[in-house]
Amino acid sequence: MKEQSVIFFDIDGTLLNHEKKLPQSTKEAVFKLKELGHVVAIATGRAPFMFEDLRKELDINTFVSYNGQYVVLNGEVLYTNPLNITSLVQLTEAALKNNHPIVYMNHEDMKANVPEHPYIKESIDTLKINAFPTYDPYYYKGRELYQSLLFCPEGEEQQYEEKFKDFDFVRWHPVSVDVLPKGGSKAKGIEQIIQRLGFPPERQFAFGDGLNDVEMLKAIENSVAMGNGEPITKEVAKYTTKSVEDDGIYHGLQMVGLL
- Do both 32 and 97 map to the same domain? no
- Tell whether 1 is covered by a domain: no
Buried b / exposed e over 71-92, threshold 16 CB at 10 Å, is: bbbeeeebbbbbbeeebbeebb
Question: What is the C-alpha end-to-end distance of the chain, expressed in Å?
Answer: 11
Do residues 104 and 226 share a domain?
no
Closest CA to 237 of 247, 246, 248, 245: 248
Would you state the pLDDT for residue 170? 87
Of 75, 258, 74, 89, give the one whose Cα is nearest residue 179.
89
CATH code of residue 122? 3.30.1240.10
Closest CA to 228 of 197, 205, 207: 207
Last residue of a domain, one of 181, 209, 225: 181
Q: Which ranges constitute the DSSP H helices of the chain?
A: 24-35, 52-58, 85-97, 118-125, 158-163, 186-197, 214-219, 231-236, 248-255
Domain boundary among 181, 213, 231: 181
Domain boundary among 134, 151, 181: 181
Residues, the chain: 259
Query: At 34, which CATH number?
Result: 3.40.50.1000
**Is 56 part of any domain?**
yes
Same domain, 177 and 233: no
pLDDT in tens, the chain (259 residues): 468 999 999 999 999 999 999 999 999 999 999 999 999 999 999 999 999 999 999 999 999 999 999 999 999 999 999 999 999 999 999 999 999 999 999 999 999 999 999 999 999 999 888 889 999 999 999 999 999 999 999 999 999 999 999 999 988 899 999 999 999 999 999 999 999 999 999 999 999 999 899 999 999 999 999 999 999 999 999 999 999 999 999 999 999 999 9
In order of 8, 103, 152, 214, the CA distances from 95 in angstroms are: 34, 11, 9, 27
DSSP 221: S
Distance of alpha carbon 204 from alpha carbon 186, whole angstroms: 14
Residue ranges making up the domain that contains 50: 6-80+184-255
Q: Angle at which helices 248-255 and 24-35 pack, to 10 degrees?
A: 40
Contact 80, 191 (CB under 8 A): no
Pair (166, 102) in one structural domain: yes
Residues 98 and 130 reside in one and the same domain: yes
Q: Judge if 56 and 103 occupy the same domain.
A: no
Contact 188, 214 (CB under 8 A): no
CA distance linking residue 52 with residue 49, whole number of Å: 5
**163/104 same-domain check:** yes
177 with 189, same domain: the answer is: no
Q: Mark whether 68 and 102 lie in a shared domain.
A: no
β-strand 70-73 against 63-65: which pairing, if any?
antiparallel
Q: 76-80 and 167-173 as β-strands: parallel, antiparallel, unpaired?
A: unpaired
**Distance between CA atoms of residues 104 and 7, nearest Å:** 30
Shared domain for 176 and 188, answered yes or no, is no
CA-CA-CA-CA torsion sign (105, 161, 220, 237) = positive
Give the global pTM: 0.91
Per-residue pLDDT, 39 = 98
Total count of domains within the chain = 2
**CB neighbour class for 197 (10 Å; exposed up to 12, middle 13-18, buried from 19):** middle
Asked if 247 is an active-site residue, the reply is no
Q: What is the predicted pLDDT for the residue at 62?
A: 98
Active-site choice (10, 178, 209, 247) = 10
Are 175 and 195 in a shared domain? no
Same domain, yes or no: 177 and 188: no
In this predicted structure, what is the pLDDT of residue 2? 67
